[in-house]
Every structure is written in C-alpha cells, then in structure tokens.
Amino acid sequence: MKKLIFIAAILLLTGCSHDDSPERKEITVSAAASLKDALSVIEKDYEKTHDVDIKINYGASGALANQIKAGAPVDLFFSAAQSKVDDLVKAHVVKKENQQSVLENQLVLVSQSDMTDISNLKEASIKKIAVGTPATVPAGAYAKETLMKAGVWNLIDDKIIYTKDVRQALTYVETGNTDAGIVYTTDAKGTKLKQTPIDEALHSPITYPLALITDNQTARAFYEYLQSDAAKKVYQSYGFTVK
C-alpha cells in the first residue's frame, strides 16, 4: 500500500512539474517564395530574443491562400499580391483591419544572352521562357500582364514554360532549361544571368501585404515586428522597397 502511495505521489509531482514548465510557443507563417532570403534572416533574429519557434512555409501566394481558405493552420500570411489577401478578407478568414501593405518589388527579364527589352523574346533564338503560373504565382500574373500590354504575349505564348513559383522560374534560366524568364528584381539579385529592367508602367503595382490570421499575443507581436525598422533594414538589404 505504501508503495502504491509513493508511486502515485511521484506521478503527481511529475505532472505538476510538467504543467509548471511553459511550452515554447509556435508561430506558423505562409509566405511568398520571393521572401525566403529576407524572412530567413528575420526569423533567426527574432528567435534569438524571443522564446518562440517560427515555422515558415514558402510557396506561390495563390496556392498558399487556397490552403488557408481550406483550413490550413496558419497564423500569418505574407503575400506577393494584394488580391490574394483580399480574397481571404472576402472569405472572412482575415479581418480587413488586420492586414497591411509592407513592401514593393519590380520585375526583371533574366536571360542567358544580352537583351535590350522584352520584345527580344520574339526572336527565334529564344525558344523557352520561364514564367510563374499566372493563376497562382503573382510574379507570373504580373509577367503575363506585362507581355500582353507590350503586345507580345500572343506571339510567344507557345514558348512559355510555367513554373510552380518565381524561384523555380529563376532556376530554370540559371540551369539553361529555358533561355529567359521573368522574375522579381529581388530574386535576380546576385545571379550571374543577364538582367533587363521591365517598365513598371506595363503592369500593376507589385505590393506585399502582410495579414494577421490568428489574433493572439504571440502572433500579433511577430506581425508587428515584421513591420518594424529592424525588419525593414533586412528587406532593403535584399532589394525590396519598404512602404
């Protein structure tokens, strides 16, 4: 009997000890693939000074938004297109006041050979062009808009190779799987590929809205940090324009 009481006491103390030890908090973020370099730095910096485990899922903003609408457990969504966050607001997943446009970006044509402008894509020497899938990849949607306004889309649409996200489009050009591609300037930063700026008048403004989905103290604190001066310095170091 004494032995049973002793065991019960040990189990009770063990249970109390476990309950008194606070579990490390977690934050789950879904973010555009083009943000990976900058957010990886911000994630490490934040975890150094906060007892939080940040898990970031990178991908095409459209695909990520669809996952969130389907019920994926996500606390924050950092999109490469305002329309994807607007869809979540309409679906009552995000409150209108819990989203803020944070960054801006630009498009650039990357290629293995020198080009003067996007009209060069019509040339016979350019056989394959990497572009993100417009329906789910904002960079692809901006690229298609650009090519249509420039009057070259219908002339080159048979050359287009669609990719799952903007980073894959860059990789296709770097590895020689395509002759050219359209990506963000931030993705092309540091690449050895030839770069040709794209006129911003040819596409809608490229903005990055940040949305708070789970409105608790832990998630909101990181939501605010992602808009802080410290975070902005990191974004700028990777070529983003802060708002």
7: pLDDT strictly greater than 70: no
Q: Return the top range by mean pLDDT from 2-11, 18-27, 86-95.
A: 86-95
172: pLDDT strictly greater than 60: yes
Is residue 166 a known part of a binding site? yes
pLDDT at 11: 41
Split at pLDDT 50, 70, 90, the class of 23 is low
Q: 142: how many CB neighbours lie within 10 A of its CB?
A: 28
pLDDT at 190: 85
Instruction: Please give the mean pLDDT across all residues of the chain.
Output: 91
What mean pLDDT comes out for the span 166-187? Answer: 97
- What percentage of the chain has pLDDT greater than the value 90? 89
Is residue 130 a known part of a binding site? no
Split at pLDDT 50, 70, 90, the class of 66 is very high
21: pLDDT strictly greater than 60: no
Is residue 108 a known part of a binding site? no
Give the three-class secondary structure for 208.
strand
Give the three-class secondary structure for 142.
helix
Is residue 139 a known part of a binding site? yes
Is residue 219 a known part of a binding site? no
Give the three-class secondary structure for 53.
strand
Domain 2-104+207-242 grouped into CATH 1.10.2020.10: no
- What percentage of the chain has pLDDT greater than the value 70? 91
Tell me whether residue 191 is exposed, middle or buried, using C-beta atoms within 10 angstroms of its C-beta: 0 to 12, 13 to 18, 19 or more.
middle
Minimum mean pLDDT range among 13-17, 135-139, 162-166, 183-187: 13-17
Does the fold of domain 107-197 match that of domain 2-104+207-242? yes
**Sequence ranges of the domains in the chain:** 2-104+207-242, 107-197
d(C-alpha 156, C-alpha 182), whole Å: 13
| Topology (CATH) of 107-197 | D-Maltodextrin-Binding Protein; domain 2 (3.40.190)
Q: Please write the tens of the pLDDT for every residue from 41-63.
A: 999 999 999 999 999 999 999 99
CA atoms within 13 A on the CB side of 238: 19
d(C-alpha 33, C-alpha 66), whole Å: 15
DSSP state of 239: T
pLDDT at 219: 97
